[in-house]
Amino acid sequence: MKTPLKRLVDKSPLVAVLPLYGVIAPGGGKLRGEQLNLANLAEQIEEAFSTKGLTAVALPINSPGGSPVQSSLIFDRIRQLADEKNIPVYAFAEDVMASGGYWLGLCADEIYVNSNSVIGSIGVVSAGFGFPALLEKIGVDRRLYSAGDNKVKLDPFSPEKEEDIVWLKKIQSEIHESFKNLVKTRRGERLKKRKDKELFSGDIWVGEQAVDLGLVDGIADLRSFCRKKYGDKVRFKRFGGQRSFLQRKLGLRAQSVGADAVEALTTAIKNQAAWGRFGL
Measured in whole angstroms, how far is the alpha carbon of residue 100 from the centre of its chain? 4
Q: Which residue type occupies 15?
A: V
pLDDT of 196 reads 72
Confidence check: pLDDT of 44 > 80:
yes
CA 27 and chain centroid, separation: 14
Question: What's the mean pLDDT in 131-160?
Answer: 67
Q: Render pLDDT for 46-94 as a digit per residue (tens, 0 to 9).
A: 999 999 999 999 999 999 988 999 999 999 999 999 999 999 999 999 9
Q: Using the CB atoms, write b or e for 233-242: b if 16+ within 10 Å.
A: ebeeeebbee
Helix (H) or strand (E) holding 164: helix 162-187
177 has a pLDDT exceeding 70: yes
Structural contact between residues 18 and 51, judged by C-beta atoms closer than 8 angstroms = no
Is the pLDDT assigned to residue 191 strictly greater than 60?
A: yes
Give backbone dihedrals phi and psi of 205, rounded to 5 degrees, phi first: -135, 160
Query: Residue 1 — pLDDT band, cuts 50, 70, 90?
Result: low
pLDDT at 2 over 60: no
- CA 27, CA 254: separation in Å to the nearest integer? 19
- 104 near 62, Cβ under 8 Å? no
**Are 160 and 154 spatial neighbours (Cβ–Cβ below 8 Å)?**
yes
Give the lowest-confidence range in 64-73, 96-105, 123-132.
Answer: 123-132
Cα four-point dihedral sign 120, 124, 128, 130? negative
The pLDDT tens digits for 148-161 are: 666 666 666 666 77
The whole-number pLDDT of residue 258 equals 47
Higher pLDDT, residue 136 or 138: 138
Asked whether the beta carbons of 86 and 45 are under 8 A apart, the reply is no
Say which amino acid occupies 81: L
Q: Give per-residue pLDDT as tens, 247-277.
A: 545 554 444 444 454 455 556 666 666 666 6
Q: Give me the residues paired with residue 61 across strands.
A: 20, 93
Sort 164 into a burial class: Cβ within 10 Å, 0-12 / 13-18 / 19+: middle
Q: Which domains does the chain show, CATH number per domain?
A: 4-121+203-276 (3.90.226.10)
Task: Determine the Cα–Cα distance for residues 23 and 21; give it in Å rounded to an integer.
Answer: 7
